[in-house]
Protein backbone atom coordinates (compact mmCIF):
# COMPACT_ATOMS: atom_id res chain seq x y z
CA UNK A 1 0.00 0.00 0.00
CA UNK A 2 1.50 3.34 -1.06
CA UNK A 3 1.33 6.23 1.35
CA UNK A 4 2.47 9.85 1.54
CA UNK A 5 1.44 13.12 3.15
CA UNK A 6 1.87 16.88 3.34
CA UNK A 7 1.61 18.91 6.57
CA UNK A 8 2.02 22.59 5.75
CA UNK A 9 1.46 25.48 8.17
CA UNK A 10 0.73 27.91 5.31
CA UNK A 11 0.19 31.50 6.41
CA UNK A 12 -0.78 30.50 9.97
CA UNK A 13 1.58 30.71 12.96
CA UNK A 14 1.17 26.96 13.61
CA UNK A 15 -0.67 23.96 12.22
CA UNK A 16 -3.94 23.11 13.99
CA UNK A 17 -4.44 20.03 11.80
CA UNK A 18 -3.51 16.53 12.93
CA UNK A 19 -2.66 13.51 10.75
CA UNK A 20 -2.35 9.82 11.58
CA UNK A 21 -1.30 6.79 9.52
CA UNK A 22 -0.98 3.26 10.87
CA UNK A 23 -0.50 -0.06 9.11
CA UNK A 24 -0.62 -3.60 10.54
CA UNK A 25 -0.14 -6.93 8.77
CA UNK A 26 -2.81 -9.35 9.96
CA UNK A 27 -3.25 -13.02 9.05
CA UNK A 28 -5.95 -12.17 6.47
CA UNK A 29 -4.24 -9.14 4.94
CA UNK A 30 -2.92 -5.63 5.47
CA UNK A 31 -4.93 -3.31 7.70
CA UNK A 32 -4.44 0.40 7.01
CA UNK A 33 -5.76 3.19 9.21
CA UNK A 34 -5.56 6.91 8.40
CA UNK A 35 -7.14 10.00 9.93
CA UNK A 36 -7.28 13.77 9.34
CA UNK A 37 -8.54 16.32 11.87
CA UNK A 38 -8.77 20.10 11.37
CA UNK A 39 -8.99 21.88 14.72
CA UNK A 40 -11.07 25.02 15.29
CA UNK A 41 -11.82 27.48 18.04
CA UNK A 42 -8.61 29.53 18.22
CA UNK A 43 -4.97 28.64 17.65
CA UNK A 44 -4.17 26.75 20.84
CA UNK A 45 -7.62 25.27 21.47
CA UNK A 46 -8.01 24.14 17.87
CA UNK A 47 -4.70 22.33 18.06
CA UNK A 48 -5.68 20.77 21.38
CA UNK A 49 -9.02 19.54 19.98
CA UNK A 50 -7.50 17.85 16.92
CA UNK A 51 -4.68 16.31 18.98
CA UNK A 52 -7.11 14.98 21.59
CA UNK A 53 -9.25 13.25 18.94
CA UNK A 54 -6.20 11.86 17.17
CA UNK A 55 -5.01 10.31 20.42
CA UNK A 56 -8.42 8.71 20.94
CA UNK A 57 -8.35 7.32 17.39
CA UNK A 58 -4.90 5.78 17.78
CA UNK A 59 -5.88 4.06 21.03
CA UNK A 60 -9.08 2.81 19.38
CA UNK A 61 -7.08 1.35 16.48
CA UNK A 62 -4.87 -0.67 18.83
CA UNK A 63 -7.44 -1.73 21.42
CA UNK A 64 -10.69 -1.97 19.44
CA UNK A 65 -10.21 -2.21 15.70
CA UNK A 66 -7.41 -4.78 15.43
CA UNK A 67 -9.01 -7.25 17.89
CA UNK A 68 -12.46 -6.98 16.28
CA UNK A 69 -11.08 -7.61 12.78
CA UNK A 70 -9.03 -10.57 13.99
CA UNK A 71 -12.17 -12.06 15.59
CA UNK A 72 -14.45 -11.38 12.61
CA UNK A 73 -13.00 -13.90 10.15
CA UNK A 74 -14.16 -14.02 6.52
CA UNK A 75 -17.68 -12.60 6.91
CA UNK A 76 -17.54 -9.26 5.02
CA UNK A 77 -21.07 -8.13 5.91
CA UNK A 78 -20.46 -8.83 9.59
CA UNK A 79 -17.14 -6.99 9.41
CA UNK A 80 -18.79 -3.88 7.94
CA UNK A 81 -21.46 -3.86 10.64
CA UNK A 82 -18.92 -4.24 13.45
CA UNK A 83 -16.61 -1.53 12.06
CA UNK A 84 -19.56 0.84 11.67
CA UNK A 85 -20.86 0.18 15.18
CA UNK A 86 -17.46 0.56 16.84
CA UNK A 87 -16.66 3.66 14.75
CA UNK A 88 -19.87 5.38 15.86
CA UNK A 89 -19.00 4.56 19.47
CA UNK A 90 -15.56 6.10 18.99
CA UNK A 91 -17.05 9.38 17.66
CA UNK A 92 -19.37 9.57 20.68
CA UNK A 93 -16.38 8.96 22.92
CA UNK A 94 -14.35 11.72 21.23
CA UNK A 95 -17.24 14.16 21.54
CA UNK A 96 -17.60 13.46 25.24
CA UNK A 97 -13.86 13.83 25.80
CA UNK A 98 -14.02 17.25 24.12
CA UNK A 99 -17.05 18.27 26.22
CA UNK A 100 -15.20 17.31 29.41
CA UNK A 101 -12.16 19.32 28.37
CA UNK A 102 -14.29 22.33 27.46
CA UNK A 103 -16.02 22.27 30.87
CA UNK A 104 -12.72 21.88 32.68
CA UNK A 105 -11.00 24.72 30.82
CA UNK A 106 -14.01 26.99 30.24
CA UNK A 107 -13.24 27.35 26.53
CA UNK A 108 -15.07 26.24 23.39
CA UNK A 109 -13.20 23.93 21.03
CA UNK A 110 -14.03 21.73 18.09
CA UNK A 111 -12.56 19.80 15.20
CA UNK A 112 -13.40 18.01 12.00
CA UNK A 113 -12.75 14.26 12.13
CA UNK A 114 -12.14 12.15 9.03
CA UNK A 115 -11.15 8.51 9.52
CA UNK A 116 -10.44 5.76 6.97
CA UNK A 117 -9.97 2.01 7.39
CA UNK A 118 -8.64 -0.02 4.45
CA UNK A 119 -8.80 -3.80 4.60
CA UNK A 120 -8.83 -6.48 1.91
CA UNK A 121 -9.55 -4.05 -0.92
CA UNK A 122 -12.36 -2.14 0.79
CA UNK A 123 -12.46 1.25 2.44
CA UNK A 124 -14.62 2.30 5.41
CA UNK A 125 -14.91 6.04 6.02
CA UNK A 126 -16.21 8.01 9.00
CA UNK A 127 -16.63 11.74 8.46
CA UNK A 128 -17.83 14.84 10.25
CA UNK A 129 -16.92 18.42 9.26
CA UNK A 130 -15.56 19.85 6.01
CA UNK A 131 -12.38 17.86 5.52
CA UNK A 132 -12.75 15.65 2.44
CA UNK A 133 -11.95 12.27 0.93
CA UNK A 134 -11.52 11.93 -2.84
CA UNK A 135 -11.28 8.77 -4.94
CA UNK A 136 -8.47 9.32 -7.45
CA UNK A 137 -7.49 7.36 -10.53
CA UNK A 138 -8.02 7.04 -14.26
CA UNK A 139 -11.03 5.91 -16.25
CA UNK A 140 -10.78 5.59 -20.04
CA UNK A 141 -7.64 7.79 -19.91
CA UNK A 142 -9.56 10.55 -18.10
CA UNK A 143 -8.49 11.84 -14.68
CA UNK A 144 -10.87 10.54 -12.01
CA UNK A 145 -11.36 12.81 -9.00
CA UNK A 146 -14.60 12.00 -7.19
CA UNK A 147 -15.45 13.49 -3.82
CA UNK A 148 -16.79 10.71 -1.60
CA UNK A 149 -17.63 12.66 1.56
CA UNK A 150 -20.25 15.37 1.91
CA UNK A 151 -19.25 18.71 3.43
CA UNK A 152 -20.84 19.74 6.71
CA UNK A 153 -20.08 23.41 6.22
CA UNK A 154 -20.19 26.39 3.89
CA UNK A 155 -18.62 29.85 3.57
CA UNK A 156 -20.22 30.88 6.88
CA UNK A 157 -18.57 28.01 8.76
CA UNK A 158 -19.24 24.47 9.98
CA UNK A 159 -22.69 23.28 10.96
CA UNK A 160 -21.49 19.83 12.09
CA UNK A 161 -18.26 18.95 13.90
CA UNK A 162 -16.95 17.25 17.02
CA UNK A 163 -17.27 19.42 20.12
CA UNK A 164 -18.61 23.00 20.25
CA UNK A 165 -22.37 22.50 20.12
CA UNK A 166 -23.98 19.04 20.18
CA UNK A 167 -23.36 15.34 19.66
CA UNK A 168 -23.55 14.68 15.93
CA UNK A 169 -23.16 11.24 14.40
CA UNK A 170 -20.58 10.88 11.62
CA UNK A 171 -21.44 10.01 8.05
CA UNK A 172 -20.34 6.49 7.06
CA UNK A 173 -19.20 5.38 3.60
CA UNK A 174 -17.76 2.14 2.25
CA UNK A 175 -16.64 0.83 -1.13
CA UNK A 176 -13.85 -0.86 -3.07
CA UNK A 177 -10.62 1.00 -3.75
CA UNK A 178 -9.33 -1.25 -6.57
CA UNK A 179 -6.44 0.37 -8.45
CA UNK A 180 -7.48 3.84 -7.35
CA UNK A 181 -6.10 6.01 -4.56
CA UNK A 182 -7.74 7.83 -1.67
CA UNK A 183 -6.89 11.43 -0.85
CA UNK A 184 -7.88 12.69 2.62
CA UNK A 185 -7.39 16.42 3.13
CA UNK A 186 -8.33 19.53 5.10
CA UNK A 187 -10.10 22.48 3.47
CA UNK A 188 -6.83 24.38 3.09
CA UNK A 189 -5.69 21.71 0.64
CA UNK A 190 -8.75 21.62 -1.65
CA UNK A 191 -10.13 25.17 -1.48
CA UNK A 192 -7.91 26.42 -4.35
CA UNK A 193 -8.64 23.31 -6.44
CA UNK A 194 -7.35 23.44 -10.01
CA UNK A 195 -8.08 20.36 -12.11
CA UNK A 196 -4.95 20.69 -14.26
CA UNK A 197 -2.69 21.07 -11.20
CA UNK A 198 -4.24 18.05 -9.49
CA UNK A 199 -4.13 15.96 -12.67
CA UNK A 200 -0.41 16.68 -13.12
CA UNK A 201 0.59 16.28 -9.48
CA UNK A 202 -1.58 13.26 -8.65
CA UNK A 203 -0.55 11.09 -11.60
CA UNK A 204 -0.19 7.70 -9.92
CA UNK A 205 2.69 6.73 -12.25
CA UNK A 206 4.74 9.46 -10.57
CA UNK A 207 3.67 8.53 -7.03
CA UNK A 208 5.81 5.48 -6.42
CA UNK A 209 6.92 5.91 -2.79
CA UNK A 210 6.37 8.05 0.31
CA UNK A 211 8.89 10.71 -0.73
CA UNK A 212 7.51 11.11 -4.28
CA UNK A 213 3.92 11.23 -3.01
CA UNK A 214 4.88 13.83 -0.41
CA UNK A 215 6.63 15.87 -3.09
CA UNK A 216 3.54 15.87 -5.32
CA UNK A 217 1.22 16.82 -2.46
CA UNK A 218 3.72 19.53 -1.50
CA UNK A 219 3.50 20.99 -5.02
CA UNK A 220 -0.26 21.38 -4.60
CA UNK A 221 0.28 23.00 -1.19
CA UNK A 222 2.81 25.43 -2.70
CA UNK A 223 0.36 26.30 -5.50
CA UNK A 224 -2.38 26.97 -2.92
CA UNK A 225 -0.11 29.32 -1.00
CA UNK A 226 0.67 31.23 -4.22
CA UNK A 227 -3.10 31.53 -4.69
CA UNK A 228 -3.36 33.28 -1.27
CA UNK A 229 -4.60 30.32 0.74
CA UNK A 230 -4.15 31.34 4.38
CA UNK A 231 -5.26 28.17 6.18
CA UNK A 232 -3.20 25.14 7.17
CA UNK A 233 -2.72 22.67 4.30
CA UNK A 234 -2.67 18.97 5.19
CA UNK A 235 -3.37 15.79 3.24
CA UNK A 236 -2.77 12.02 3.19
CA UNK A 237 -2.68 9.94 0.01
CA UNK A 238 -3.15 6.14 0.11
CA UNK A 239 -2.69 4.17 -3.12
CA UNK A 240 -4.60 0.97 -3.82
CA UNK A 241 -3.43 -2.08 -5.74
CA UNK A 242 -1.29 -0.78 -8.58
CA UNK A 243 -2.41 2.73 -7.57
Measured between alpha carbons, how far is 238 from 234 in angstroms, rounded to an integer? 14
Looking at residue 78, what is its pLDDT? Answer: 87
Phi, psi of 235 (to 5 degrees): -160, 150
Each residue's pLDDT, cut to its tens digit, for the chain (243 residues) gives 899 999 999 988 889 999 999 999 998 899 999 999 999 855 468 899 999 999 999 999 999 999 988 887 666 778 999 999 999 999 999 999 999 998 898 888 899 999 999 999 999 999 999 999 999 998 777 899 999 999 998 877 788 999 976 788 999 999 999 989 999 999 999 999 999 999 999 998 888 899 999 999 999 999 999 999 999 999 999 997 655
- Asked if 232 and 12 touch (Cβ cutoff 8 Å), the reply is yes
Secondary structure (3-state) at 18 = strand
CB neighbours of residue 22 within 10 Å: 15
Per the DSSP assignment, residues forming a β-bridge with 224 are none
Looking at residue 242, what is its pLDDT? Answer: 53
Looking at residue 72, what is its pLDDT? Answer: 78
Task: Give the residue among 128, 231, 136, 148 at the shortest CA–CA distance from 189.
Answer: 231
- Domain ranges across the chain: 2-239
Task: Give the residue among 144, 127, 148, 125 at the shortest CA–CA distance from 136.
Answer: 144
Secondary structure (3-state) at 1 = coil
- Asked if 217 and 4 touch (Cβ cutoff 8 Å), the reply is yes
Measured between alpha carbons, how far is 29 from 188 in angstroms, rounded to an integer? 34
Phi, psi of 42 (to 5 degrees): 105, 155
CATH topology of domain 2-239: Phosphatase 2c; domain 1 (3.60.40)
Looking at residue 42, what is its pLDDT? Answer: 58
Looking at residue 216, what is its pLDDT? Answer: 97
Amino acid sequence: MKFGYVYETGKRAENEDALLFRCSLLSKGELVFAAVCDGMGGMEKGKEASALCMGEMETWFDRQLIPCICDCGEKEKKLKQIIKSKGFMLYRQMNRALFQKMRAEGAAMGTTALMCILYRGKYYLFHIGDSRTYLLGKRMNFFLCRQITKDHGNEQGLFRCLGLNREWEPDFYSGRIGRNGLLMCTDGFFRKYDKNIWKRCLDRKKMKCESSIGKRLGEIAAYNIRQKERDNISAIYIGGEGG
